[in-house]
Homo-oligomer: A and B are copies of this chain.
Amino acid sequence: MSDLLERLRGRGWRLTAQRRVVAEVLDGDHVHYTADEVHAKAANLLPEISRATVYNTLGELVSLGEVLEVSTDGRAKRYDPNAHHAHQHLVCSRCGTIRDVHPSGDLIAGLPAEERFGFQVAAVEVTYRGLCPACAAA
């Protein structure tokens, strides 16, 4: 993701300190943060950054396809910077840890035409749930 900022500038993005910091936070780790967590980490690097800007920037990254929005629990959405290869999520039912996984096969094809009710099916999200090794041992 180190060339993310270059790609975005190529698409006409104005490169501001705030956007750079948000991109840096997303790039830094493989955990999926909530918007508030992104804001907190960004504020460590750039104290005056506002919540609105973080939300705006995340929204733009999502609509540009650079970042995925994941909502597994009906609470805060989480932002997943690993948008460039398709993957799904494996979530521990006890501790909530999320791992990226790669199922085999064409997942959309699993839905027969007569089960599509006229929808134009464009995407599929799969969440596997179970106990992670640490929680299973405890």
Contact = CB atoms under 8 A, between A and B. Distances in A.
A72 interface: yes
Given A74-B71, A104-B112, A123 B119 contact: no
How many A residues touch the partner, as a band?
A: 35 or more
A133 interface: yes
For the complex of A and B, list the 4 residue pairs with the smallest distance between their C-beta atoms, beginning with the closest: A71-B74, A118-B133, A121-B130, A103-B110
A122 interface: yes
Interface string A107-133: 110111001111111111111111111
Contact of A122 (B93, B104, B121, B123): B93
B104 A90 contact: no
A129 B122 contact: yes
Nearest to A90: B119
